[in-house]
Structure 1
């Protein structure tokens, strides 16, 4: 099968298409012929050497999410059959024509969703659901501030929060404001020209937001905490702005009874990721099928052009997910 590999860490140009052996399905696995593959920032970190030459459990080929058709079912699998349309999270091995996925991290693709679009669901929507509802316990009628709202997880988080009946504040670049508003944001803040803390304070009569979902890290920490209401909860999902030099107002943390969580999916044990997938599926698969929530797709590249997909992500100009698409299987 064709897969994307790299012999040395470096820029996008190190990614090359090569023929490799197809994976073998283990007892709990589905073997899937991929129709679309999600590109994630973790893939860029992998390519640059952030994880070393780690073996991620399923493959040493990069990639974390797939959608496609089941071509083989392991002996211990229940609830799936050959020919089923599935999407889900893999522990490596997505950048290929065939991938194996533990069936407990797979979801049936709803009838109303194409296999192409399904490749943009698992990683971002599961992460967004975990942050908003499992950790931050967001409820209808509460307010939430979501940063990097035009990105993959950000656009998913805005949609889920809106669908759950929350008031959504969202930060993005000014050129992406209308797109983010279209995802369901009530108040869109241009992070380049506006102070999000001042906007949230002004729009909430000084009370602040009940929840903050942050992807930026150290540069936003102090203002994030100051933006939280009494009893507020913040979930840190990424570190796009770096991890050093953060100032934490400890007095506000104490006297406002605040809670701060961190979450990352890639390094979690399989059983934790399985539970995360199932929590999302139980609540939201119906909404995906009906179109009440939808994957946001920026662009699609042939699998062999994975380097171009990485370059697109590194521009910071994308809105939503970037996908890879293997060539159709020969008849």
Structure 2
């Protein structure tokens, strides 16, 4: 099968056409899946974990059709099911024509998304879900009005709000009933407002810390989802209310803790997203109800992998860069 392989500890990649396909004999508990699309993540070629296996492959988002399933009676999915997932159980990514996933990574693909749209969702949406509702301790969104009211009065800041994780952070925090502020470039202000942000701050014109300091009681945050790191993360610490949390997917927040000028009891959290088919199923329901959506910045064929990574690393990407694995250009 065709596959994109990391050829060593560097960022070098090679496209091959003779990688052996996985089979059900490789693991009796795994699903074999025909890969239709995978999404790429900025800086994933610097991650050490994928290099722990013999054949490292990028792309940890998966959208595809199940070819074979475990033979156990309890298997949740069956051949022919259209699924999507964040897969890290083997740390071999999905920029290959046939993939393997375990059951707790999988969810049925949203019926109202094509393959490329579905591939843009799992890693980013699960990162935002876990940042807000596991580590940020907000109550997840629900159709129940009283569930939303549990977050009433809570204020959430999402930095890089037009990026892969930021898009989901804004939407999910809004759906959960929190007041949401997102930072972005000037060209994305209206886009971020359209996602549900109550305020979209143009970082080229507005200094976050100064903006908050103008009225910290009203503008301070209970949860910060930081997707940038650096000076932005340091400023975020001073923008949090008493007892609030700085949750970072960019870098460990404690290293940017300014120590002084902080509200009482502010905590920093660093985490790495984990596959979770149950949480992805909740996200699927929100998507199918039309309450939130993924965002595809651009789509490339597997043979165009070099252009795809150039687009990704160039910055100012709106949403996800996706690789299409189907040999024929066909959309579902």
Normalised by the length of structure 2, the TM-score is 0.85
1:261 corresponds to 2:259? no
* SS of residue in 2 equivalent to 1:87: strand
1:211 corresponds to 2:223? yes
Listed one character per residue, the Cα deviations across residues 46-87 of structure 1 (whole Å, up to 9, x for unaligned) are 5xxx5583229xx62222111011011123461100000000
- Alignment CA distance shift 1:279-1:53 (3 Å): closer
**Structure 1 contact 15–306 (Cα < 8 Å) conserved:** no
CA distance in structure 1 between the partners assigned to 2:220 and 2:304 by the alignment: 44
CA distance in structure 2 between the partners assigned to 1:15 and 1:181 by the alignment: 40
- Alignment CA distance shift 1:163-1:178 (3 Å): same
CA distance in structure 2 between the partners assigned to 1:27 and 1:63 by the alignment: 23
CA distance in structure 2 between the partners assigned to 1:84 and 1:63 by the alignment: 21
* SS of residue in 2 equivalent to 1:27: coil
The equivalences for 1:36-55 within 5 A come to 36-46=37-47, 50=48, 53-55=51-53
**Structure 1 contact 221–248 (Cα < 8 Å) conserved:** no
Task: Look up the match of 2:102.
Answer: 102
Alpha-carbon distance, 1:327 to partner: 2.6
- Alignment CA distance shift 1:288-1:203 (3 Å): farther
The equivalences for 1:23-172 within 5 A come to 23-25=22-24, 26-46=27-47, 50=48, 53-55=51-53, 60-76=56-72, 78-91=75-88, 92-139=92-139, 140-141=151-152, 142-172=154-184
CA distance in structure 1 between the partners assigned to 2:50 and 2:234 by the alignment: 32
**Structure 2 contact 247–253 (Cα < 8 Å) conserved:** no
**Structure 1 contact 129–280 (Cα < 8 Å) conserved:** no
* SS of residue in 2 equivalent to 1:35: strand
Task: Look up the match of 1:269.
Answer: none
Alpha-carbon distance, 1:202 to partner: 3.8
Q: CA RMSD in A?
A: 2.5
- Alignment CA distance shift 1:292-1:204 (3 Å): farther
* SS of residue in 1 equivalent to 2:94: coil
CA distance in structure 2 between the partners assigned to 1:304 and 1:233 by the alignment: 43
Alpha-carbon distance, 1:249 to partner: 2.0
Listed one character per residue, the Cα deviations across residues 184-205 of structure 1 (whole Å, up to 9, x for unaligned) are 1111112222111222344664
Task: Decide which of 225, 228, 234 is 2:237's aligned counterpart.
Answer: 225
**Which structure 2 segments of 5+ residues have no match?**
140-150
Alpha-carbon distance, 1:258 to partner: 1.4
- Alignment CA distance shift 1:280-1:20 (3 Å): closer
Listed one character per residue, the Cα deviations across residues 142-182 of structure 1 (whole Å, up to 9, x for unaligned) are 11010111111111111111111111111111122222222
Alpha-carbon distance, 1:43 to partner: 2.7
Alpha-carbon distance, 1:309 to partner: 0.8
Normalised by the length of structure 1, the TM-score is 0.86
**Structure 1 contact 218–243 (Cα < 8 Å) conserved:** no
CA distance in structure 2 between the partners assigned to 1:28 and 1:329 by the alignment: 31
CA distance in structure 2 between the partners assigned to 1:17 and 1:181 by the alignment: 43
CA distance in structure 1 between the partners assigned to 2:186 and 2:328 by the alignment: 42
Task: Look up the match of 2:283.
Answer: 284
CA distance in structure 2 between the partners assigned to 1:203 and 1:105 by the alignment: 43
* SS of residue in 1 equivalent to 2:256: coil
Alpha-carbon distance, 1:243 to partner: 8.2
CA distance in structure 2 between the partners assigned to 1:17 and 1:154 by the alignment: 34
Listed one character per residue, the Cα deviations across residues 194-222 of structure 1 (whole Å, up to 9, x for unaligned) are 11122234466455111101122232333
